[in-house]
Structure 1
Amino acid sequence: MVDDEDLIAERTPLPDAIGGRLREQLVFLAEVDKLKTVLRQSPLAAADRRENDAEHSWHLALMVSVLAEHSDEPIDVGRTVELVVLHDLVEIYAGDTPLYDDAGRESQQEREEAAADRLFGLLPADQAARFRGLWDEFESRGSPEARFAKAVDRVQPLLLNWLARGGTWRTPGVTADTVRARKAVIGEASTPLWTMVQELIGEGERRGWVSPGE
């Protein structure tokens, strides 16, 4: 359980008359406002700054709605939107782990699982179990919805990097082959999106926005 002193809701406590299930839900909803403060490495296309996790999650939800027709398998769009909205909430406590941060990726799973227990544990027990189940589903890619959600999660920052003419592709040590390898999960969910992504990476390589592969 999270220490009450760490919770946003305890900075301006709710009236005592608001209790039970609703109180737990409001405490959780206040706490996830912290997602707006978690900065990612991806540059925005519309402004000269990095995006935050809340902006990323909103963009993913919209992308699922727009691109669902490109899934290789039929998907429940509503469930897929839930998956992309929930999956990064753990970064409130675990922090963002950039795709090309190999050192950070070594401890990512452990940090994020602990964060999931801590954050979803704020909810009523039934919702805590459901949300944790959805988060685990996304991580395991164990359903068509989870595979497509993961694919969109990989497409979104790649599109931002393309629009920024490189973005995090310019990270030292990253090559076009590195990008292709880290984005390969897209091909597990959507042949059209994977074809598109390979075209963007290849063109970025030709334009000098990412170091050539071997």
Structure 2
Amino acid sequence: MNTEDLLNQIAFIKEIDKVKYIQRKTKLFNSDRNENDAEHSWHLALMAIVLAEHSNEPIDVLKVVKMVLIHDIVEIDAGDIFLYDVQINHDNTEQERLAANRIFGLLPKKQADEMIAIWEEFETGETNEAKFAKSMDRLEPLLQNTSNNGGTWKEFGVPYKKVYEKKSVIKEGSATLWNYAEGLINESVEKGILKKE
């Protein structure tokens, strides 16, 4: 047994506990409590397992699960940026890259390299696995907001056009799930939850 590797792995495990304290803007289904990043990642992992058959292309489900479990770990250092923030771009930042290097860098080199590569693959969003993982990441808060009578859309005055634009990423990973999501978005307009400009 390599004691140094084990100690590094334990250090990483302790560090990522901080993900449980990162509050997201989105609230739990039918609730007024904000979701945290750990709950979000866990939910996406199970969604990926359950919904994998709806992927546009064949995928390595374990790889997707790894992606969604680690994609927000960088927020320990970089913080959570609201998808609809008008001040800060939600796209990958240098701050997130530095966070990935620091946090995953706690692991033994081989594991660190693998985690960083998976995180980067998710961020780039070009592989079948990354496209499906991003579909999960966009679908879950949509389901939450529709269960909460508009949730963060209503709270922050997010217009239909912005929601449609941000959520349309879902179709890159799953046309089936996008058809379902698009129906929910349109239904939200009909209910007056989302406003068309």
Give me the TM-score of the superposition, normalised by structure 2.
0.95
Which structure is richer in relative contact order (CA contacts within 8 A, separation 6 or more)? 2
- Please tell me the root mean square deviation across aligned C-alpha atoms, in Å: 1.5
Counterparts of residues 166-185 of structure 1 (less than 5 Å):
166-185=150-169
Which residue among 174, 177, 188 is the counterpart of 1:193?
A: 177
Per-residue deviation, 1:47: 3.7
1:187–1:90 CA distance, 2 compared to 1 (3 A): same
Is 1:87 equivalent to 2:79 in the alignment? no
CA deviations 1:125-168 (Å, max 9, x no partner) are 11111100000000001210110000110000000001001011
Structure 2 distance, partners of 1:106, 1:87, is 13
Larger Rg: 1
1:160–1:173 CA distance, 2 compared to 1 (3 A): closer
For structure 2, list consecutive stretches of 5 or more residues without a partner in the other structure: none
Contact in 2 for aligned 1:162/1:200 (Cα 8 Å): yes
1:115 aligned residue: 99
SS in 1 for 2:193: coil
SS in 2 for 1:93: helix
Which residue among 16, 19, 22 is the counterpart of 1:32?
A: 16
Contact in 1 for aligned 2:75/2:96 (Cα 8 Å): yes
How many residues get paired? 196
Structure 1 distance, partners of 2:90, 2:177, is 28
Structure 1 distance, partners of 2:23, 2:171, is 27
1:203 aligned residue: 187
Structure 1 distance, partners of 2:91, 2:145, is 25
Per-residue deviation, 1:46: 4.9
CA deviations 1:3-37 (Å, max 9, x no partner) are xxxxxxxxxxxxxxx93100000000000000000
SS in 2 for 1:96: coil
Structure 1 distance, partners of 2:31, 2:152, is 16
- What is the aligned-residue identity percentage? 48
Counterparts of residues 66-145 of structure 1 (less than 5 Å):
66-105=50-89, 108-145=92-129
